[in-house]
A and B are shown apart, each in its own frame.
Chain A
Amino acid sequence: MNPVPAIRFVLRSALQNVTRNFGISLASLLTVTLTLLGAGAAVVVVHALDNVLHSEESQASVLKVFLADHVSLQSIMQLESSLAAQHQVVSVQFENKDAAARQGCRQLGLCSALNTLRSTGGGNPLPASLNLKLRSIGAVTTINDEVRTSPLIFQGAHPTDYNPDVIPRLERYILIAQIAGGILVAVIGAVALVIITISIRTAAYVRRREIEIMKLVGASEWFIRWPFIFEGMMVGLASAVVAAAILLGVEYVFGAGHALFLGIGVRFALTVIAGLLVAGAFLGAFGSMVGIRRSLAA
């Protein structure tokens, strides 16, 4: 079979399907657009939430190791080198007692208390520290357990600023967001599939006489199927374009400064567009194959 006239016939038939059943095609396009929009929005929100949580996670993966007073600088440098050599440690920064006091004054509002202590000869009670930036949130517990055994470490109630509650909670939030997003996308995808299937089944019903004749004169099943698959793909792709335009338009207009839209750059936007186009084409093609199956079997 010569492919060029065959493709021409298939494309023309697909376009005829859309134009002849314009009302059904339009309804199908709108509903699929809405479902793809929902799926796209779910992906964007999960991505943004993931970004926020990862940002929190990166902050949580900083561990402050408090040092005992009167430890020699040489010992501190040795400890710093041995920590920096570890794979899980990204960087180590030494913070002396004066810097700790300045930070305590600035961040914790301890200025007046520190001044009072200094004026009464009490000195600076805040310890020097090694501030560790770790590769992952999971490494915090390991490093914390390891450094606690060192004799150079401040031997008080809190030798580090490790808070065992924060990390599992963050990890739980990320997991919940990913599962909820996945379920949402799956449910919306299934709805879109059903809608396309119904739409193609309707188109096949409208064209039942044509299908019947094609079968009678000996057209192959794929030849009968292709126009409907193309029709489904066209509806799916058009829906994806409209959904992507709405989604990214909303992001462009309202996104700036909004917490949910943090981290959505051009690259992610392109990924969303590509994802919606692929999802639209796939849903259209798959829904059409399911929708036309009954007509071919009859």
Chain B
Amino acid sequence: MFRSHHAQPPELPAVRTAPTRPLIVFERVFKTYGNGNPALEDVSFQVRPKDFVFVVGASGAGKSTMVRLLIREEVASRGHVLVDGQDLRRLRRRQLPRLRRKMGIVFQDYKLLPTLTVEQNVAFAIQVTNPGRRHLKEKVAEALYIVGLEDKLLSQPGQLSGGEQQRVAIARALVHRPRIFLADEPTGNLDPDTSWGIVQLLLQINHRGTTVVVATHNREIVDLCRQRVIAMEQGRIVRDEVEGQYMDGAAQAL
């Protein structure tokens, strides 16, 4: 369980009711992989700007497929996935980098470069997308300040704990100020306390105006946060609640 001072989630973002255009749209999406097994079946939902959404479900429920469709590592077999009004099926390969620059993406395994320092790992995201960008050091420092690692600039990933490594990955995802922040099992390798710290950080990022989508099977964290929950089972959405829990009576009944 979480430590007592972590028992209360941070202040929730204000309720947003303005009729803004959805930032993410899944419209009757089906995805079947080469082995013929359906990963997603008739999935539809929308995410508005500045929303915070948990996508929950057991392994194989389709959470990661959803993330892969969003970053266009995969293309839907049927239906439409739209990000910021752009249909990803129609996206040309050369347009893909522009889409990815709108997103910050973190994974369970952090995906850090072990030979680079913390600062270099974060700067890498800018160096490979916009090498001439001014004030690189300041932007890297700012991202590391947000994640609370401003004193670890010169450390290497191997010298950091799992939670700190995930924070570096989050800083790298944040450094080019994405509109959407995607996290696929960001706490999968972390202990409960550290996981809670990471989720608090994601909530802070959301407070700053970034849309956050987190795919997770971490029941405690989802239940504590009282954010929107999209629950999945066997490739289908079984529940979509504005202030949901990992599992409610309806889901259990299914």
Chain A interface (Cβ < 8 Å from any Cβ of B): 1-2, 4-6, 8-9, 209-210, 212-221, 223-224
CB nearest to A296 among chain B residues: B93
- When the two chains form their complex, are residues B113 and A217 in contact, meaning their CB atoms are under 8 A apart? no
Q: What chain A residues lie within 8 Å of B111 (beta carbons)?
A: 209, 212-213, 216
Nearest Cβ on chain A to B252's Cβ, whole angstroms: 36
From A4, A218, A223, B99 is in contact (CB under 8 Å) with: A218
Interface of chain B, main secondary structure: helix
Which residue on A lies nearest to B116, using beta carbons? A210
B-chain residues with CB within 8 Å of residue A9 when the two chains form the complex: 127-128, 131
Give the chain B neighbours of A210 by CB distance below 8 A. Answer: 113
Residue of B nearest to A5 (CB): B131
Is the CB–CB distance between A217 and B176 below 8 Å?
yes
Q: Which residues of B contact A218 (CB under 8 A)?
A: 96-101, 103, 129, 176
Q: Which of B89-115 contact A (CB under 8 A)?
A: 93-94, 96-101, 103, 105, 111, 113
Is B132's CB within 8 Å of the partner chain A?
yes
B71 contacts the other chain (CB 8 A): yes
With A9-B131, A209-B111 already in contact, the answer to whether A216 and B176 are too (CB < 8 A) is: no
Contact (Cβ within 8 A) A1 B100: no
Assuming A209-B113, A213-B111, A213-B113, is B132 touching A219 (CB within 8 A)?
A: no
Complexed CA–CA distance, A221 and B98 (Å): 11
Ranked nearest first, the 9 interchain pairs of A and B with the lowest CB-CB distance are A2-B132, A218-B100, A218-B101, A5-B131, A219-B128, A217-B125, A218-B97, A6-B131, A5-B132
With both beta carbons as reference points, the residue of chain B lying nearest to A10 in the complex is identified as B131
Q: Are B71 and A216 in contact (CB under 8 A)?
A: yes
B172 on the A face (CB < 8 A): yes
Residues of A within 8 A of B127 (CB): 5, 9
Residues of B within 8 A of A (CB-CB), count: 24
The binding surface of chain A is classed by DSSP as: helix
Question: Are B100 and A6 closer than 8 Å at their CB atoms?
Answer: no
Give the distance in Å from the alpha carbon of A223 to the alpha carbon of B132 in the complex.
Answer: 13
Task: Give, as a whole number of angstroms, the nearest-CB distance from B121 to chain A.
Answer: 9
Across the interface, B100 reaches (CB within 8 A) one of A2, A8, A215, A224, namely: A215
- What residue in chain B is nearest A219 (Cβ atoms)? B128
CB < 8 Å neighbour of B105 from A1, A216, A221, A223:
A216
Residues of A within 8 A of B103 (CB): 218
Q: Are B132 and A217 in contact (CB under 8 A)?
A: no
Distance between A167 CB and nearest chain B CB, rounded to angstroms: 59
Cβ of B130 within 8 Å of any chain A Cβ, yes or no, is: yes
In the complex the two chains form, what is the Cα distance from A214 to B132 in whole Å?
A: 16
Closest to A2 in B: B132
Q: How far is the CB of A216 from chain B (nearest CB, A)?
A: 5
Residues from chain A with Cβ under 8 Å of B71 in the complex: 216
Q: Are A219 and B113 in contact (CB under 8 A)?
A: no
Q: Which residue of B lies closest to A3 (CB)?
A: B132
Contact of B93 (CB < 8 Å), options: A1, A6, A221: A221
The answer to whether B132 touches A1 (Cβ under 8 A) is yes
Map CB proximity to A onto B117-146 as digits: 1 under 8 Å, 0 otherwise. Answer: 000000011011111100000000000000
Which A residues touch B96, using CB under 8 A? 218
* Inter-chain contact A1/B131, CB cutoff 8 Å: yes
Q: Which residue in A2, A8, A214 is a CB contact (below 8 Å) of B128?
A: A214
Residues of B within 8 A of A215 (CB): 100
**Nearest Cβ distance between residue A9 and chain B, in whole angstroms?**
5
Residues on A with C-beta less than 8 A from B94 are: 220-221
